[in-house]
Amino acid sequence: GGWNSPRSSTSSPTNRWTTRLRPAEARHSPVSGTRRVLPSLATRCHTAEVGNSLRLGIVDDHPAILRGVLAGLLDFLPDVVATRTALCVEPLIEDRRNIDLVILDVNLGDDTDAAQNVAALVDAGLPVLLYTQGAGRALIARCFRAGASGIVAKSADLAALAEAIRVIASGHAYL
């Protein structure tokens, strides 16, 4: 993984920086069908000012997913100024001072335990958004006990993922 500066990209013929998330596009959680915003229980994690620049960390063991999620999110989150992508959590922990929020694939191919990954990120002061394609309830519950701030299914559209990022970056849980 490496640093990507979306603002320097000129490969797209469309202007990625003018598209805004409309409230009507983010009314439902991909998990429960409704969106609830709760105060975050992970008080050890810092929050980013919504509307200011946002620095994301994305952990996924599939490079195409990393690139695709980043490219798609830029349409909804024009305030993303840099993204650190990685195949495991360690590089993000090492670079924690340059990251505001981590999107974490729950089922990494390196056989690490998702709840332990969440705990390590939260202990480093990073809010964690779980991004999954079908983890079991017991594993998700363990991840939330370890300090995860929200969850979005990989089958959800990018507007829902962007809304979860905004909510968590403002210091609230997204459930």
Residue 42 · residue 123 · CB < 8 Å: no
State the maximum Cα–Cα separation within the chain, in Å, rounded to a whole number: 44
pLDDT for res 66: 85
- Phi, psi angle pair for 44, to nearest 5°: -70, -20
- Per-residue pLDDT reduced to its tens digit, 7-46: 333 333 322 222 222 233 333 333 434 343 333 333 334 4
- Per-residue pLDDT reduced to its tens digit, 65-115: 888 888 899 899 998 887 888 999 999 999 999 999 999 999 998 989 999
pLDDT at 136 over 60: yes
Tell me how crowded residue 116 is: count the other CB atoms within 10 A of its CB: 13
Pick from 45, 5, 60: nearest CA to 126:
45
pLDDT for res 134: 79
What residues pair up with 153 in beta bridges, in sequence order? 132
pTM exceeds 0.75, yes or no: no
* DSSP H or E stretch at residue 67: helix 63-76
